[in-house]
Amino acid sequence: MSNSTLSFVRTTMEVAKAPPASTVGVVGWMRKNLFSSWINTALTLFAIYLVWIIVPPILDFTIFNATWTADDREGCLAGGHGACWAYVEAKFGQFIYGRYPVEERWRVNIVFAIMAIGTVTLAIPSVPYKKWNAIFMLVIFPILAFFLLVGGYFGLHHVETPLWGGLLVTLVVAITGIVVSLPLGVLFALGRRSEMPVVRMVSIIFIEFWRGVPLITVLFMASVMLPLFLPEGVTFDKLMRVLIGVALFSAAYMAEVVRGGLQAIGKGQYEGAQALGLPYWKTMNLIILPQALKLVIPGIVNTFIGLFKDTTLVLIVGLFDLLGAIQLSFTDPKWSTPMTSHTGYVFAAFGFFIFCFSMSRYSIFMENRLHTGHKR
C-alpha cells in the first residue's frame, strides 16, 4: 500500500479534451463578462437602463426629428425640435473655409487633397517610397501649401490670413503645432538629460517657462503684447504669431512626454550601444529614441489630441477656427432658430471627434504594429 502512494509512473499520456460548453461561445462570454456575480448582473442591468434613457433622445434629435432640407429658418421651425441640418448644409462652406473668397476656394481644396493623400499613404505601412513621401510631406508640401493658401505669386490672388477661417485655420494651427512640436520636443527632452550644463539649463528654462503659462496667455502675448515690443512699422502676421506660440507651447509638453520615455530605457541599452562604439547621436537615433518614442506613443498622441482641441482657443485673439466659424454663424438672422446653436455645437463636436478619434485609433494601430514581444 505504502509503495503505491510513494511511487508513481505514468504509463499513458492524457489527451486534451474540449472545454465545458457553458464556458465558451456567446453564452460563456455573457456568463463570464455580464452576469458573473449579482453585482455584475446589477451593473449590467443598470447600464442597459442608461442606454435606454440616453440613446433614443439623441437619435430623435439628430435623425428622426431633424430637418434635412430647408431654405431658411422657417423650414427648421416648422420641422419641430430636432436638429436643423439644413443650416449646416447652407453654412458648410463657411465652416470649412471661413471668409476665404469663394472663387479661390479651389486652392484650399487642392491643399486639403494633397494633405489627405500624403497623410494616408504615409500612414499605411505597406505603401512604398516612405522616405520620399516623408520628404515631400515635411519639406515640399508646407512650401507648396504656403504659396497656394497665401497667394500673391504666380498670378494667384493674395488672400490675407484674417480671411482664413473654419476647418482651414484649425488644421493649419494643429498640423503646424504637431509637426513642429515633436522634433523640437525630442531635442529639448534630450537637452534636459544632457550632461552639458548650459544645454541642460536652456532646456529646463524653456520647458518650465512654456509649461508654466496658460495657452491663452501665450496667445494674448503673441497677438496683443508682441506688437508693442516690436519697432514701429514692423508687423508680423497674426496667424504666424499664433502658430509660433502654439508650436513652442506644445513642444514643451512634448519634451516632457518624450523625457518620460527616455527615462524608461534602461542604462543597459546605452551601455550596449556604447560598447559597440556607437557615438551619441547614432545611439539616440538607432537605439534609444525608437524605443522611447514607441513607449510614449499614447502620451504623444494625447498631446496631439490636446493640441488639436486647444486650437479652438485662437478664437480669443480674433481668429475663427472651426468652432469659431460655427459660433459666428449663429448670429445670422436668416437661420436663427432655437435649435441652431444646438445643431452647430453637435456638428462641431462631430467634426473634432472624427479627427481626434482617428488619431487615437491610429496610435493604437501603431503600438500594436511596433510591439516586438516581451521587453526585458
From CA 262, how far away is CA 160, in angstroms rounded?
42
C-beta atoms surrounding 237 within 10 Å: 12
Q: Is 53 in the site for another protein (CB under 8 A)?
A: no
Minimal distance, residue 270 CB to another protein, in Å: 9
Out of 279, 331, 333, 368, the residue judged to bind another protein by CB under 8 A: 279
Out of 226, 244, 278, 315, the residue judged to bind another protein by CB under 8 A: 278
Out of 277, 331, 333, 368, the residue judged to bind another protein by CB under 8 A: 277
CA separation, residue 195 to residues 186, 256, 273 (Å): 16, 17, 18
Out of 70, 287, 307, 348, the residue judged to bind another protein by CB under 8 A: 287
Q: Is 282 in the site for another protein (CB under 8 A)?
A: yes
From CA 376, how far away is CA 373, in angstroms rounded?
10
Tell me which DSSP letter residue 179 carries.
H
Q: Please identify, using beta-carbon distances, which residue of 247 and 287 lies nearer to another protein.
A: 287
Minimal distance, residue 173 CB to another protein, in Å: 33
Angle at 320 between CA 331 and CA 307, to 5 degrees: 130
Q: What are the respective helix, strand and coil percentages of the chain, to the nearest 5?
A: 75, 0, 25
Q: Is 44 in the site for another protein (CB under 8 A)?
A: no
Q: Please identify, using beta-carbon distances, which residue of 219 and 284 lies nearer to another protein.
A: 284
Identify whether the C-beta of residue 88 lies closer than 8 Å to the C-beta of residue 340.
no
From CA 331, how far away is CA 329, in angstroms rounded?
5
Out of 40, 44, 65, 269, the residue judged to bind another protein by CB under 8 A: 269
Q: Please identify, using beta-carbon distances, which residue of 212 and 268 lies nearer to another protein.
A: 268
Binding site for another protein (CB under 8 A): 268-269, 271-279, 282, 286-287, 290-291, 294, 370, 372-376
